[in-house]
């Protein structure tokens, strides 16, 4: 949105006089003939006096409504932005019977950051401003309304003007709000934001009836008569049309005791703020996209997409598409490379583990040593790395041990006919758990002592050889 353009447009709108020579193109027509509309209702819930011919006999106000219309006038090549008010059957000209007066004051222009906040509001202003800001503005307006009412009703005046009491009070309320803006609201405005001179919408000088321009408006399926009380015509351009369409307009209304000589129906003031933005568009009307922090596009409301909507909502540029494609290809290549590297590394790791397992688990058989005659001495089975231990090596018998080996075999053959008893002191000893050292036996057989035992073989030979075996 062009903030400068909006400032110019709404400054002109706020200062626009309520002159009959500036009627709306929608006078005595319907809101369906506008390009865009917005309606919002509000009820101040204050007392209301009886009026002749009025159906409302409750003694309380009924809902009133504010309407906005945006219309492209092809005949004059202009765009028109207008505000409308529905009194819901009450006669705002006869404020003495109503028992109250009403002022309306617009608050504009607000900066773009505030406008973006209010793009999706429902008319209550709570999306655009904080709750604290809204309540502070309404409370301040009520305070000023009572203060200036008492001054006018007491014979005094806050101004030297000869204007009607409602006009004086409404003007002073706007001036005071500009001079003493609540702290809670300052983050939502800038130096250009101000409350425009308030307009009385009750009494003989009511802006509601100044134009004498009724329009039939439809809200929620119900038709009502709206009276024009503000309008602005601008040379048509797409930029001006979009500025009015996207703008969220805060409007503050204040109900206060009747300032004339007749009795009033309310003792206190009541203020309420609504925020309107064009949201409903007729078919084939240009629809600007809501403001956002990023660039947005616009479209046209039609039953089928129009050429303008297609061109304004075109896709990405060629360079952007090329960049996206290159990025995707590079990303996929990196992903595939990383996956291949991971699988190869995992495969090598598994192969190394299998080799280690096979080496640690294999069994190696070593051929038993033999003597010169080819007879085996013994068979040794080693597992894994135990076969490499130096203390497990088996020494071959010397060549002269053949006789001893043969005689040993003969004695072993005769042993089954002899019974040897253990000495008494060895009875009860468990030999099953003892680990007989084969190396000591082989060493004994190959030692000179074996030869000496062989020389003395005879009656006691078997005993000695048994001692050797044991």
Task: Report pLDDT digits (tens) over 414-428.
Answer: 444 444 454 554 445
- 101 Cβ partners below 8 Å, 6+ apart? 95, 165, 166, 169, 200, 202, 203, 255, 256, 257, 258, 259
User: Out of 159-168, 226-235, 325-334, which region has the weakest mean confidence (pLDDT)?
Assistant: 159-168
Which is more confident, 307 or 8? 8
Which is more confident, 65 or 160? 65
How is the chain split into domains, by residue range? 3-305, 380-469
DSSP string, 429-448: ---TT----HHHHHHHHHSH
Confidence at 313, pLDDT banded by 50, 70, 90 = very low
- 291 Cβ partners below 8 Å, 6+ apart? 1, 112, 115, 116, 119, 246
SS3 of residue 169 by DSSP: helix
Handedness of CA 125, 127, 129, 135 (dihedral sign): positive
Top-ranked range on mean pLDDT: pick from 29-33, 94-98, 201-205, 413-417? 29-33
Cα(226)–Cα(27) distance, integer angstroms: 10
Mean pLDDT of the chain: 73
In 3D, which of 398, 378, 387, 385 has the Cα closest to residue 438? Answer: 378
pTM of structure: 0.59
Confidence (pLDDT) at 434: 46
Tell me the residue length of the chain. 470
SS3 of residue 290 by DSSP: coil
User: Out of 52-66, 174-188, 223-237, which region has the weakest mean confidence (pLDDT)?
Assistant: 52-66
Residues 105-133 as b/e (b if ≥16 CB within 10 A, e otherwise) read: bbbbbbbbebbbbbbebebebbebbeeeb
Q: Are 140 and 195 in contact (CB under 8 A)?
A: no
Where in 62-163 does DSSP place strands (E)? 64-73, 78-86, 100-108
Cα(11)–Cα(381) distance, integer angstroms: 109
Beta-bridged to residue 227, according to DSSP, are 85, 214
Please report, for residues 64, 79, 154, 276, 370, the alpha-carbon distance to residue 39 in angstroms, rounded to integers and kept in the order given.
10, 19, 38, 8, 117
Which is more confident, 37 or 402? 37
SS3 of residue 281 by DSSP: strand
Confidence at 375, pLDDT banded by 50, 70, 90 = low
Confidence at 176, pLDDT banded by 50, 70, 90 = very high
- pLDDT cut 70: percent of the chain above it: 61
Which is more confident, 214 or 8? 214
- 278 Cβ partners below 8 Å, 6+ apart? 36, 37, 38, 68, 70, 244, 245, 246
Confidence (pLDDT) at 327: 83
- 97 Cβ partners below 8 Å, 6+ apart? 49, 50, 51, 52, 91, 262
Q: Which two tokens stand for residue 372?
A: 């010169």
Segment 347-368 mean pLDDT: 57
Confidence (pLDDT) at 165: 75
Confidence (pLDDT) at 160: 45
pLDDT reading at 98 higher than 90: no
Confidence at 467, pLDDT banded by 50, 70, 90 = very low
258-271 pLDDT, tens digit each: 877 777 788 889 99
- 394 Cβ partners below 8 Å, 6+ apart? 368, 369, 377, 378, 380, 439, 442
SS3 of residue 222 by DSSP: strand
Cα(464)–Cα(459) distance, integer angstroms: 10
Which is more confident, 383 or 150? 150
Residues 431-451 as b/e (b if ≥16 CB within 10 A, e otherwise) read: eeeeeeeeeeebeebbeeebe
Cα(54)–Cα(87) distance, integer angstroms: 11
User: Out of 32-36, 89-93, 382-386, 409-413, which region has the weakest mean confidence (pLDDT)?
Assistant: 382-386
């Amino acid at each position: 949105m062009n903030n400068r353009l909006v400032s110019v447009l709404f400054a002109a709108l706020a200062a626009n006089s309520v002159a009959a020579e500036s009627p709306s193109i929608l006078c005595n027509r319907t809101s369906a003939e506008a390009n865009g509309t917005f309606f919002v209702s509000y009820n101040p819930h204050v007392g209301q006096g009886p009026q002749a011919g009025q159906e409302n006999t409750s003694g309380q106000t009924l809902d009133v409504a504010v309407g906005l219309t945006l219309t492209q006038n092809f005949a004059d090549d202009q765009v028109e932005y207008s505000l409308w008010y529905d009194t819901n059957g009450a006669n705002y000209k006869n404020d003495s019977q109503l028992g109250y007066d009403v002022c309306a004051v617009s608050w504009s222009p607000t900066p773009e950051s505030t406008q973006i906040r209010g793009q999706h509001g429902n008319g209550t202003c709570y999306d655009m401003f904080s709750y604290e800001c809204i309540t502070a503005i309404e409370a301040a307006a009520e305070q000023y309304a009572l203060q200036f009412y008492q001054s006018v009703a007491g014979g005094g005046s806050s101004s030297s003007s000869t204007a009607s009491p409602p006009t004086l009070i409404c003007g002073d309320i706007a001036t005071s709000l500009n001079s003493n803006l609540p702290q809670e609201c300052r983050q939502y405005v800038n130096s250009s934001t101000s409350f425009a001179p308030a307009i009385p919408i009750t009494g003989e000088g009511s802006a509601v009836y100044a134009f004498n321009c009724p329009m039939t408006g439809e809200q929620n399926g119900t038709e009502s008569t709206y009276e024009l009380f503000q309008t602005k015509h601008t040379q048509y351009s797409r930029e001006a049309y979009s500025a009015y369409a996207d703008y969220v307009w805060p409007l503050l209304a204040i109900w206060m005791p009747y300032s004339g000589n007749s009795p009033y129906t309310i003792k206190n003031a009541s203020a309420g703020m609504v925020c309107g933005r064009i949201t409903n568009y007729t078919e084939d009307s240009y629809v600007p996209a809501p403001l956002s922090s990023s660039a947005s596009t616009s479209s046209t409301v039609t039953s089928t997409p129009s050429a303008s909507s297609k061109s304004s909502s075109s896709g990405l540029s060629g360079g952007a598409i090329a960049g996206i494609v290159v990025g995707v290809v590079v990303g996929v290549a990196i992903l595939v490379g990383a996956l291949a590297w991971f699988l190869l590394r995992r495969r090598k790791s598994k192969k190394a583990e299998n080799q280690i397992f096979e080496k640690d688990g294999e069994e190696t058989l070593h051929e038993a040593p033999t003597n010169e005659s080819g007879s085996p001495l013994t068979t040794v089975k080693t597992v894994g790395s135990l076969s490499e231990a130096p203390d497990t090596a088996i020494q071959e018998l010397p060549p002269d041990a053949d006789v001893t080996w043969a005689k040993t075999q003969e004695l072993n053959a005769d042993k089954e006919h002899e019974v040897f008893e253990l000495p008494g002191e060895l009875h009860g000893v468990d030999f099953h758990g003892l680990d007989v050292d084969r190396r000591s036996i082989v060493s004994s057989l190959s030692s000179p002592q074996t030869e000496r035992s062989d020389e003395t073989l005879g009656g006691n030979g078997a005993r000695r050889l048994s001692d050797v075996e044991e």
